Chains A and B, each alone.
Chain A
C-alpha cells in the first residue's frame, strides 16, 4: 500500500535535452539513487506548477517525488510498502 510521507528532500537533478530528471535524493539519512523514472506529470497549483516524478531505486522500491516550481523545493510525497 502507499504510505504518505510528505517530507522535504534534497534532490540531484539532471537537465538534459529540455527534460528535467531527478537522479538521486537524500531521505532518512541515506542517499537513494534513482534507477528509473516510471512516470511523470504536472499539476497546476494556482499560477505555478508542481512536477511529479514516480521513480524506483535499484531494489525496485517505489517513491513519488514532487517539485514545487514556485518554491523550488522537493518533497517526497509517498512510498510503496508491502
Chain B
C-alpha cells in the first residue's frame, strides 16, 4: 500500500507551470509554436526577459536577462510584450483546477502553487494518480503543461518539481528524501543563492549531503541563525502548513439551496429537489475531504415564513444517502403542509477534515452504508473525468426546473 510509504506524514504537491507566459503565448497564437518566444518586450527595450520558451532557452536565454542580451543570443527569437491580464486570468484558471482536487491550495506566485493532498490523494488512485489527473486537466483545458513534485514538505516538493522539467512528475516519499537531496549540488537547495553557495563551496561543502552533515555551530558562525536552518533543510526537514486561499478550514457548514421557479407542494418535485441538494452537498464535502454530523433543512413557504430544522448524528457522514434520509425525515415531521414551498435548502454543519482511517474502513466494509459510499466514489470519479452533469440520480428527473440550481 502506498499509504505505508508516507508514515502518516503530510503529502505536499508543488505545481510549477512550465515557461508559463511563453507557453500561454504559444498556445493562443499557433504561429509561435515550436519557435523561441521571449516575453518581456522588444529587443530594443531596457527591460529584462520575463520568461522564455524552452526553444529560446536552447540559445542560452533565461529569465531576468536584459532584452538586448537575449536578442544577441537569439536574434531569430519572437519578442512579445508581457500581458499581465492574460497571465493572471490563466493563473486563476489553474487555481480553479487545483481546487477541484483539494481545498488546501496556496499560490506562491503567478505560476507556482502548493497543494496539500494528504486527505484526498487516495481517492484518485494515489499520489501518482492525483498528479496525473491534475496534469491532464491543465493540458486538456488550458493547453499548457505543468511540472509536479510531491514530497512530505514544501521544500522537497519544490525541489522535486524543479528536478524534471518540462511536463515532469517526481514523487519523493519520506524514506527517499535524503537520497534525493544529498547527491545534488548545494546551490540546488531552495534558499541557497550564488553567494551562499560560493561561501559553502569554499568550506568544502559541495553537495546538499555535505551540508546536512556539517557542524551547526560552524554554519551559524558563517551565516548566523540561517546557518542552523540550512542544516535542517539539507536533511529535508520542514513542516509548514499549506495556507489555503480557499478557506474552507474556517467554514462551519456546507450547504446548497434552491428557489423554485414556481411555488410548489408537489411531493415528487420536492423529494427530487431534496435528493439533488443532498447530492450537491455531499459531493462538495467529499471534494474537499470533509465530513459533518449536523444535518440542517431550510424551508421557505410561499408566504415567506421560514422553517429551519436540524438533526445531529452520532457519527460523521459525507454521503448523499445519510443527508437525504434525515432531511426527508425532518421534512415530513415538521414541514409538509398544504402551503406551497418557495425555497428548500440543505446543509451539513459541525464539519471536520476526514481522517485517512475513514477511507481505509470503507474499502473493507460492505455494509449498506459503505455500499452507498462506494457508489458515491464511482460517481465522484466519473464527475472528475467528465464533468458534474455526467451522472446523477434518476429520481432527480422528477424535478422540473433543473436548469437553475
Chain A interfacial positions (CB closer than 8 Å to B): 1-2, 38-39, 41-43, 52, 54, 56, 60, 62, 80, 82
**Chain A residue contacts of B89, Cβ below 8 A:** 41-43
Which of B30, B31, B80, B86 is the one whose CB lies under 8 Å from A41? B86
Distance of A71 from chain B, by nearest CB (Å): 18
Of the listed stretches B21-29, B64-72, B375-383, chain A binds B21-29
Closest A residue to B80 by CB, please name it: A2
Q: Tell which of B31, B78, B80 touches A60, judged by Cβ atoms closer than 8 Å.
A: B31
The CA-CA distance from A41 to B30 in the complex, in Å, is: 17
Pick the contact of B31: A39, A43, A62 (CB < 8 A): A62
B residues near A60, Cβ cutoff 8 Å: 30-31
* Complex: chain B residue closest to A1, CB-CB: B78
CA distance A40 to B28 in the complex (A): 8
B90 at the A/B interface (Cβ < 8 Å)? yes
Asked, given contacts A41-B89, A42-B89, whether A62 binds B27 with beta carbons under 8 Å apart, the answer is no
Q: Which 9 A-B pairs have the closest CB atoms?
A: A39-B28, A43-B85, A41-B89, A54-B28, A38-B28, A62-B29, A41-B86, A80-B31, A80-B29
The answer for the CA separation of A38 and B24 in the assembled complex, in Å, is 10
Q: Can you offer 11 A-B residue contacts whose CB atoms are under 8 A?
A: A1-B79, A38-B28, A39-B24, A39-B27, A39-B86, A41-B86, A41-B89, A42-B89, A60-B31, A62-B31, A80-B29
- B132-151 contacts to A, CB under 8 A, are 143
Contact of B29 among A38, A41, A52 (CB under 8 A): A38
A60 to chain B, nearest CB (A): 6
CB distance from A46 to the nearest CB of B (A): 14
Give the A-binding residues of B (Cβ under 8 A): 24, 27-31, 78-81, 85-86, 89-90, 143
Which DSSP category, helix, strand, loop or mixed, fits chain B's interface? Answer: helix
Contacts of B79 in A (CB 8 A): 1
B388 CB, min distance to chain A CBs, angstroms = 13
> Known contacts A43-B85, A43-B89, A52-B86: does B27 contact A38 (CB below 8 Å)?
yes
Cross-chain contact B31 with A82 (CB below 8 angstroms): yes
B90 touches A41 (CB 8 A): yes
Which chain A positions have C-beta within 8 A of B27? 38-39
Q: In the bound complex, do residue B90 and residue A54 qualify as a contact, i.e. CB atoms below 8 Å apart?
A: no
Q: How far does the alpha carbon of A27 sit from the alpha carbon of B27 in the complex, in Å?
A: 24
Q: Which residue of B lies closest to A44 (CB)?
A: B85
Separation in Å of the B129 CB from the closest CB of chain A?
29
Q: From A50, which residue of chain B is reached at the shortest CB distance?
A: B85
Cβ of A38: which chain B residues have Cβ within 8 Å of it?
27-30, 143
7 extra A-B contacts, CB within 8 A, seeds A39-B24, A39-B86, A82-B31: A39-B27, A39-B28, A39-B143, A52-B85, A52-B86, A80-B29, A80-B31
B24 smallest CB distance to A (angstroms): 7
Q: Indicate the member of A41, A52, A56 with the most B CB atoms within 10 Å.
A: A41
Complex: A4 Cα to B80 Cα, angstroms: 12
Closest-by-CB residue of A relative to B142 is A39
Residues of B within 8 Å of A39, CB to CB, are 24, 27-28, 86, 143
Interfacial chain B residues near A82, Cβ < 8 Å? 31
Closest to A54 in B: B28
CA distance A39 to B30 in the complex (A): 11
Residue in A1, A43, A52, A56 whose CB lies within 8 Å of B30: A56
Q: Tell me the bound Cα distance from A39 to B93 in angstroms.
A: 12
Interface centre among B79, B89, B143 (most CB of A within 10 A): B89
Whose C-beta in chain A lies nearest to the C-beta of B90?
A41
Complex contacts, A52 vs chain B, CB 8 Å: 85-86
What chain A residues lie within 8 Å of B30 (beta carbons)?
38, 56, 60, 62
Max chain A C-beta neighbours (<10 A), residue from B24, B27, B31? B31
Which residues on A sit within 8 Å (CB–CB) of B81?
A: 2
Distance in angstroms between the alpha carbons of A76 and B104 in the assembled complex: 40
User: Complex formed: what's the CA distance from A2 to B41 in Å?
Assistant: 12
* Residues in A whose Cβ lies below 8 Å from that of B24: 39
Contacts of A54 in B (CB 8 A): 28-29
What residues on A are CB-neighbors of B143 within 8 Å?
38-39
Give Cα A43 to B87, complex, Å.
10
CB distance from B96 to the nearest CB of A (A): 13
Closest A residue by C-beta to B85: A43
B-side contacts of A41, CB under 8 Å = 85-86, 89-90
A35 to B31, CA, bound (A): 15
Distance between Cα atoms of A39 and B86 in the complex (Å): 9
